[in-house]
Amino acid sequence: MPERIFNFSAGPAVLPLPVLEQAQRELLALPGVGASVLEISHRGKPFQSILESAKSRLKSLLGVPDHYRILFLQGGARLQFSMVPMNLMPGSQAPPDYVLTGSWGKNAVKEAEKVGPLNIVWDGKDTNYDRLPSPEAWRPTPQAAYVHITSNETIQGVQFSDDPDTGDVPLVCDASSDILHRPLNVSRYGLLYACAQKNAGPAGVTIVIVREDLLARSQASLPGYLSYQLHAENNSLWNTPPSFGVYMVDLVARWLQEDIGGLEKMHAQNREQANSLYEVLDNTNGFYRGHAQPNCRSLMNVTFRLPSEELEQRFLAEAEGQGLSSLKGHRSVGGIRASIYNAMPWEGVNALRGFMQDFATRNA
Amino acid sequence: MPERIFNFSAGPAVLPLPVLEQAQRELLALPGVGASVLEISHRGKPFQSILESAKSRLKSLLGVPDHYRILFLQGGARLQFSMVPMNLMPGSQAPPDYVLTGSWGKNAVKEAEKVGPLNIVWDGKDTNYDRLPSPEAWRPTPQAAYVHITSNETIQGVQFSDDPDTGDVPLVCDASSDILHRPLNVSRYGLLYACAQKNAGPAGVTIVIVREDLLARSQASLPGYLSYQLHAENNSLWNTPPSFGVYMVDLVARWLQEDIGGLEKMHAQNREQANSLYEVLDNTNGFYRGHAQPNCRSLMNVTFRLPSEELEQRFLAEAEGQGLSSLKGHRSVGGIRASIYNAMPWEGVNALRGFMQDFATRNA
């Protein structure tokens, strides 16, 4: 076993070790197939069975109702920022609503604005995106094409802890950085999308869960690759899918089902791990200052500052020396960010917690 | 070592065994990094060095001039079918030209027609796409936005054996199924694109080689992910790239450089392997009927029919029983297709050749 660091990268991010080990064992030849998953035709039976298994496991883990389709696409959340408005705006009575809780939501708005007008129904910029709106602070515009939220903002570290009820207006959610971290009430959503490289697999595969009735909005004039309807009609095989990515999503979902025991248990572990780090922020007399307001803290990305940039540099260098890697905050906000996605083991969280306590004691 | 079949799939397709073995060795942790290539941040030094290595190896293998950019995108050739016209049509004096030599060219036209008018300057449909036009049979329209060709048509098995000279009109080439199979004169092209899953890597990464001056045609109104200019400005890191795919392209390029000895040698092997199969077609008294005219035969996809569909079924079943897999022709043309991309070992070609000769003797 080669030595592995504790990888706190915000994404691509740590994957479950048993998943990596299985992928490694099978990399020259899938059992009974005689060729690598990297080499097999996407139209042959071995890949078909991987694709169906991945869909079926996601459906089971998330409780996806039958009238939703699960798609595996490419292009990451960035392409979804365009696909969502290009598919869902046409034919609607009113423009879409966007709830802006951080940097990724702002990027989504930039792309949607190219497609048509939209309403920003809440914007956290006045408090530097350190909080979420209360349910009373935003209401979808009646007959809006959809309302878009970002369930977890990786850069600011703020996260919705529930599934908002938006009534008849389809709720569209960028769940890139927290899909599969807790059970969802999928029926609250019109469309969920998530690039895989935080909780669900490697970079290069994007999961889309879409309510079937919304597929009718995709116009025939759309660029083919950008049409949800074409992908759904062809069961994600309109073109060659990112087959290795789909295989990895299937392995991660199996790990969630069989090793973790489902999303309730995953959620409990995520809460405990995040709380054990937030406790340090709250109990070092202000040495660490969390960015997010306590009631909106992300279970995935713990963001905080130290008393000075010099101390932050020292913190990062010492952490790296102890095998605690990729803790630097995003360049747009600075400071420290500990990303503790589903696959982060307790050993990593405990090592970081111990280091943080020790560092504070030595430098307070 | 697990048992491996000979995989004649048209794509995703066989990969070089030493490449798979290296990927397997490093899958839990890249040497000196302590994390899998599947887990590391695309903005960290380890991935930066993989990205630069992949670009530099491709540049060296293909002799890419300095005024071209090499990009790694997602979405396969299908997304390029849209990106090419969406980026290159605006601002041009005249519509683009398309040369139609098979099924993939037709798919490219379908997407381009959504963007604007175009000219089909040659169409092989009257002879069922069994040949290519002579250089005299097509001339680009003066001031055309670009002229598009498909260097190798996987379904019909016809292939350009040189780099057409289109003068001042930018030549755009879908090289998905034959990039890196021979040296290219890249300066003849305005833009080359190739999904990786035949000669260059796994599904999920697309190589684009584009002349810098063409980037200025990308309009700011384009969906962000669809802008060549944005990807070029950000060195393929506008969003998270398909990092494992880029890593695999780097390993395949290293194999071409160090194990094969460059593209001249790769071309020689490809010619010899293809000829050894075409010889069988030509020397079995018409038992096998090649689809492509002899002067346009593909070195990548050897397509042929047998005297009856019943014999074709028997051929496929017996071949599969001997570990010669995925020889079924595309559903749109039927018959047999042996895809023998760069990574097909001589053992596979020889085994297929022997089987074809034996099958003909027994069933003629």
Backbone conformation region of residue B333, classed left if phi is above 0, alpha if psi is from -120 to 50, else beta: alpha
**3-class DSSP state for residue A324?**
strand
Q: Which residues of B touch A245 (CB under 8 A)?
A: 204, 242
The per-residue pLDDT for A331 is 81
Interface touch A325/B35, C-beta < 8 Å:
yes
Residue pLDDT, tens place only, B19-51: 999 999 999 999 999 999 999 999 999 999 999
Interface test with B, best of A28, A33, A221 (most B CBs within 10 A): A28
End-to-end CA distance of chain A: 38
Point out the residue among B42, B75, B245 whose CB comes nearest to the CB of A12.
Answer: B42
The per-residue pLDDT for B351 is 98
Q: Are residues A189 and A266 in the same domain?
A: no
A104: annotated active-site residue: yes
β-bridge partners, B304: B290, B336
Interface touch B17/A28, C-beta < 8 Å:
yes
Count, residues in chain B: 364
Tokens of A14: 């740590």
CB-CB contact of B216 with B91 (8 Å): no
Of A260, A288, A306, which residue is a domain's last? A260
Q: Are residues B84 and B110 in the same domain?
A: yes
The per-residue pLDDT for A250 is 98
The per-residue pLDDT for A332 is 78
Neighbours of A123 (CB within 10 A): 16
Point out the residue among B28, B86, B245 whose CB comes nearest to the CB of A4.
Answer: B28
C-alpha span between A360 and B218 (Å, rounded): 50
Q: How confident is the model at residue B1 (pLDDT cuts 50, 70, 90)?
A: low
Cβ-based burial of A24 (10 A; exposed 0-12, middle 13-18, buried ≥19): middle
| CATH code of the domain containing A300 | 3.90.1150.10
Tokens 């009257």 belong to residue: B126
Q: Which of B174, B178, B255, B328 is catalytic?
A: B174
The per-residue pLDDT for A333 is 81
User: Which ipTM value was assigned to this complex?
Assistant: 0.98
Tokens of B28: 């839990």
Kindly state whether residue B69 falls inside one of the protein's structural domains.
yes
C-alpha span between A333 and A115 (Å, rounded): 29
Interface touch A75/B74, C-beta < 8 Å:
yes
C-alpha span between A81 and A71 (Å, rounded): 16
Over chain A, what is the mean pLDDT?
A: 97
Kindly state whether residue B314 falls inside one of the protein's structural domains.
yes
The per-residue pLDDT for B346 is 98
Kindly state whether residue B8 falls inside one of the protein's structural domains.
no
Could you list the residue range(s) of the whole structural domain that residue B149 is in?
A: 17-260
The number of domains in chain A is 2
Point out the residue among A20, A111, A240 whose CB comes nearest to the CB of B36.
Answer: A20
Kindly state whether residue B215 falls inside one of the protein's structural domains.
yes
C-alpha span between A274 and A348 (Å, rounded): 12
Query: Amino acid identity, residue A197?
Result: Q
Kindly state whether residue A176 falls inside one of the protein's structural domains.
yes
Q: Are residues B132 and B270 in the same domain?
A: no
Q: Are residues B256 and B302 in the same domain?
A: no
Which residue in chain B has the smallest CA separation from A47?
B12
The per-residue pLDDT for B20 is 98
Q: What are phi and psi of A211, to 5 degrees?
A: -70, 130
Positive or negative torsion for Cα A81, A84, A87, A92: negative
Point out the residue among A9, A221, A242 whose CB comes nearest to the CB of B41.
Answer: A9
Point out the residue among A2, A14, A27 whose CB comes nearest to the CB of B39.
Answer: A14
C-alpha of B356 from chain center: 26
Neighbours of B331 (CB within 10 A): 8
**3-class DSSP state for residue B252?**
helix
Q: Are residues B200 and B291 in the same domain?
A: no
Q: Which residues of B touch A239 (CB under 8 A)?
A: 75-79
B104: annotated active-site residue: yes
Q: Which residues of B touch A111 (CB under 8 A)?
A: 223-224
Of A233, A260, A287, which residue is a domain's last? A260
Q: Are residues B266 and B256 in the same domain?
A: no
Point out the residue among A78, A203, A243 whose CB comes nearest to the CB of B224.
Answer: A78
Cβ-based burial of B287 (10 A; exposed 0-12, middle 13-18, buried ≥19): buried
C-alpha span between B299 and B12 (Å, rounded): 17
Q: Are residues B172 and B289 in the same domain?
A: no
Residue pLDDT, tens place only, B48-73: 999 999 999 999 999 999 999 999 99
Q: Are residues A335 and A219 in the same domain?
A: no
Which residue in chain B has the smallest CA separation from A245?
B204
Q: Which of A97, A130, A163, A174 is catalytic?
A: A174
Residue B10, C-beta contacts closer than 8 angstroms, at least 6 positions apart = A41, B154, B155, B177, B198, B301, B326, B330, B337, B339
C-alpha span between A87 and A83 (Å, rounded): 6
> Distance of CA B21 to CAs A27, A208, B17, B18, B341, Å?
8, 33, 6, 5, 19
DSSP secondary structure of B182-246: S---GGG-SEEEEESTTTTSSTT-EEEEEEGGGGGG--TTS-GGG-HHHHHHTTT-SS---HHHH
C-alpha span between B188 and B171 (Å, rounded): 7
CB-CB contact of A100 with A148 (8 Å): no
Residue pLDDT, tens place only, B340-354: 999 999 999 999 999
Q: Which of A55, A106, A198, A328 is catalytic?
A: A198
Report the DSSP pairing between strands A324-325 and A6-7.
Answer: parallel
Residue (of A2, A14, A30) closest to A244 by Cα position: A30
B45: annotated active-site residue: no
CB-CB contact of B287 with B360 (8 Å): yes
C-alpha span between B146 and B127 (Å, rounded): 26
Interface touch A204/B40, C-beta < 8 Å:
no
Which residue in chain A has the smallest CA separation from B32?
A3
**3-class DSSP state for residue B3?**
coil
Residue pLDDT, tens place only, B193-211: 999 999 999 999 999 999 9
Q: Which of A55, A97, A104, A178 is catalytic?
A: A104
The per-residue pLDDT for B61 is 98
Q: Are residues A47 and A191 in the same domain?
A: yes
Interface touch B2/A34, C-beta < 8 Å:
yes
DSSP secondary structure of B282-325: HTSTTSSEESS-GGGB-SSEEEEE-SSHHHHHHHHHHHHHTTEE
Which residue in chain A has the smallest CA separation from B38?
A202
Provide mean pLDDT across the span B221-234. 98
Kindly state whether residue A11 falls inside one of the protein's structural domains.
no
The per-residue pLDDT for A1 is 62
Q: Are residues B168 and B268 in the same domain?
A: no
Residues of chain A where predicted confidence (pLDDT) is lower than 70: 1-2
Of B234, B260, B286, which residue is a domain's last? B260
Q: Are residues B205 and B353 in the same domain?
A: no
Residue pLDDT, tens place only, B243-255: 999 999 999 999 9
Interface test with B, best of A50, A225, A255 (most B CBs within 10 A): A225
The per-residue pLDDT for A13 is 97
Kindly state whether residue A305 falls inside one of the protein's structural domains.
yes
Provide mean pLDDT across the span B266-289. 97
Interface touch A225/B75, C-beta < 8 Å:
yes
DSSP state of A215: G
Tokens of B294: 């002899």
| Calculated CA dihedral for residues B332, B171, B50, B239, nearest 10 degrees | -80
Interface touch A9/B39, C-beta < 8 Å:
yes
Kindly state whether residue A90 falls inside one of the protein's structural domains.
yes
- How far is the alpha carbon of A241 from chain B, nearest alpha carbon, in Å? 7
Q: Are residues A23 and A127 in the same domain?
A: yes
Interface touch B225/A79, C-beta < 8 Å:
yes
